Structure 1
Amino acid sequence: MVDPIGIKTGAVTARAVSSVNALNRVTEAGTVEKAAPVVQTAASELTANMAAKPPVDSERVAKIKKAIEDGNFPLVPSTIADRLLALKMQWNPNE
């Protein structure tokens, strides 16, 4: 027999919670063992740099705002409608 996939009814077993980034580890003898220092990789440096800055290009936003105020920004209603419809077609409410 095949078990169904999904939520199973019944009692939830106890789950233990443990720290992932523990700095020190206690051995069975009760002594504290120092963990190895965290190595900074290129990916973690990139992540830290990206997290430090806002995800918005403020210079580009300022240029667009200025162009809209001056009437130089090309707003084409049919293009806006086409892109909104494309987004709607790609949107899946079940994800």
Structure 2
Amino acid sequence: MPPIEIGPSRPVGAVQVKTICADTGQVETTKTSTPASAAPKIETSDAVKGGAAPIDSERVATIRKAIDEGRYPVIPTRIADAMIAAGMLLRSPQ
């Protein structure tokens, strides 16, 4: 399962509150705002950071060169099958 990334909290703007007076039935509108300092602070640990992906740059360069020269067989059905299989692996519980 990929790590869940938690970003900074979003600022909260003004909130419009409508109340109905029980005696008169009139709607009263008030605006309130939450100061940015009241927003909760969120910290992330190093455990949720994914780090660098394991990529073999030399192998990627070799494959790209072979594709450019027309020596690498690009078979769309095999590519599609591999993408579907990778998606299924990512969704399955481990």
Structures share fold, TM-score greater than 0.5: no
Which has more strand, going by share of residues? 2
* TM category, shorter: 0.3 to 0.5
Provide the TM-score with structure 2 as the length reference: 0.35
Provide the TM-score with structure 1 as the length reference: 0.35
Where relative contact order (Cα < 8 A, 6+ residues apart) is larger, the structure is 2
